[in-house]
Amino acid sequence: MTMDTKNGNGRTAGRGIGLAAVRGLALALLSLPGAVLCFCLSLVSIALIPIGVGLVTTPYVLTGVRAFANGRRVLAAEWGGVRIPPAYRPLPKDANPWARTFAMLRDPATWRDLRWLPVDMTAGFVTALLPAVLFLYPLEGFALAIGLWRVFPDGYWYGFVPVSGQASAFGAAALGLVLLFLAHFFTPRLLDVHFRLTRAVLGSNQGELAERVRILTETRRDAVDASAAELRRIERDLHDGAQARLVAVGMDLGTIEALLDKDPAQAKELIAQARTSSVEALSELRELVRGIHPPVLAERGLGDAVRALALRLPVPTEVSVDLPQRAQAPVESAAYFAVSEVLTNAVKHSGADRIWVDLHQADGMLRASVTDNGKGGAVIGAGSGLAGVERRLGTFDGVLAVSSPAGGPTMVTVEIPCA
């Protein structure tokens, strides 16, 4: 946003004004037809989507709009030093026209582009043209003073000066001088205004970004806390459980070795005890593994893992699954534990005698809803299991929604992006 005119040097300043004026003129000539054309084509193309033609044309038109906007971003950076980072979402590769069209239409950056076009063809045009006018109009005043006034014998208005002879032509030149003086101050600034205006409309919203960063920081802290707590729990369980039992088995075996000849009866008793300990250690390890990564989830994926979970519940539970493909392992795991927690809650608190689980994937979202016919009144409050679920889902940009009027039924829906 600093222009080389700002460094007091007169010659550079003069060149700067001229440059700014030429650039302003170029921008004005570029922006008006370009913006009008892009805007009209976009409107027509989007309007034609319902009859199908728009589906084919829209990606091309919007790509053109992006190219136009990107051109202006480059000019803003090179001519005005104003950086406007593009924030387009990546388009799906090898997608059909339908998917491409809707991916583009869902992108907020597309709508920012479309909003920018009318601004650019009006305010943008004016702010680009003014520097040029402010520079070129005084030149006309000088030209009139030199002799151009003779071409207009019937009188001619230069600004508010009526030019009818050499004297008034000099008046025009004086006005031109004043205007040039003003241009010296305003030309680069007006161009700057143009680029700032472009950035204000075309650039992605800083507030939005700041909010996003805040949420990411928060969820990352939650994730780190949760995984640290989880590791501590696993360590403690191993240490107090399986590890201790295996040590006991080892000790028993040592004692058995010593007793084998002296007291076979007691040795036999100890062998039985050692075997019990090893069986218990195994079952503890099994529980631990189920808590870290449920075996059916690893073997079959989310659908069957939830089915297996439902079979273990004391309340009859129907599971319907519509998952075209397996999601990424962390997403599957997050969804599984969220559903598991919600189901546990339902069994413990709802008093329901039937539960329905529905898993499906649509629009890049993995959606799981758990409905029960219990007494309702569930809330995401402090200390409730649901608040914990919500926090852990946050790491995956997932959301939790609860609908639970008093008297029931309760429906808890979990949604995680999985594309």
Partner 1 sequence: MRVVLAEDLFLLRDGLVRLLQAHGFEIAAAVESGPELAAALAELDPDVAVVDVRLPPTHTDEGLQCALDARGKRPGLPVLVLSQHVEQLYARELLADGSGGIGYLLKDRVFDAEQFVDAVRRVAAGGTAMDPQVIQQLLARRSGDDRPLARLTPREREVLELMAQGRTNAAIAGKLVVTERAIAKHTANIFAKLGLEVSDDDNRRVLAVLAYLDHGR
Residues that bind partner 1 (CB under 8 A): 275, 278-279, 282-283, 286, 289-290, 295-296, 298-300, 304, 307-308, 311-314, 316
Check if the beta carbon of residue 417 is closer than 8 Å to that of residue 363. Answer: no
For the bound state, the minimum distance from the C-beta of residue 282 to partner 1, rounded and expressed in Å, comes to 5
Quote the least distance from Cβ 296 to partner 1, whole Å. 6
- Closest CB to partner 1 among residues 311, 382: 311
Q: In this complex, which beta carbon is closest to partner 1, that of residue 32 or of residue 346? A: 346
Q: Supply 286's token pair.
A: 């099994």
- Cβ-contact 345, 383 below 8 angstroms: no
Kind and range of the H or E run holding 157: strand 156-158
* Least CB distance to partner 1 at residue 262 (A): 26
Residue in 130, 123, 135 with CA at minimum distance from that of residue 16: 135
Q: Among residues 208 and 287, whose Cβ is nearest to partner 1?
A: 287
Minimum distance of partner 1 from residue 240's CB (angstroms):
20
Question: To the nearest whole angstrom, how small is the minimum distance from the Cβ of residue 231 to partner 1?
Answer: 22
CB nearer to partner 1: pick between 147 and 316: 316
**Strand 355-362 with 317-322, pairing:** parallel
Helices then strands, each counted (H, E), the chain: 13, 7
**What are the residue ranges of helices labelled H in 203-243?**
206-238
Furthest-apart CA atoms within the chain: distance in Å: 138
- Residues forming a β-bridge with 369: 358, 413
CB of residue 267 to partner 1, shortest distance in Å: 18
Torsion angle, alpha carbons of 58, 64, 70, 72, to 10: -120
Closest CB to partner 1 among 164 and 278?
A: 278
Residue among 281, 283, 348, 337 nearest 313 (CA): 348
Contacts of 154 (CB under 8 A, 6+ apart): none
Nearer to partner 1, 39 or 356 (CB): 356
Question: Among candidates 94, 92, 73, 69, which has minimal Cα distance to 82?
Answer: 73
Taking the C-alpha atoms of residue 231 and residue 121, their distance in angstroms, rounded to an integer, is: 59
Min CB(308)–partner 1 separation in Å: 4
User: Which of 25/248 has CB closer to partner 1?
Assistant: 248
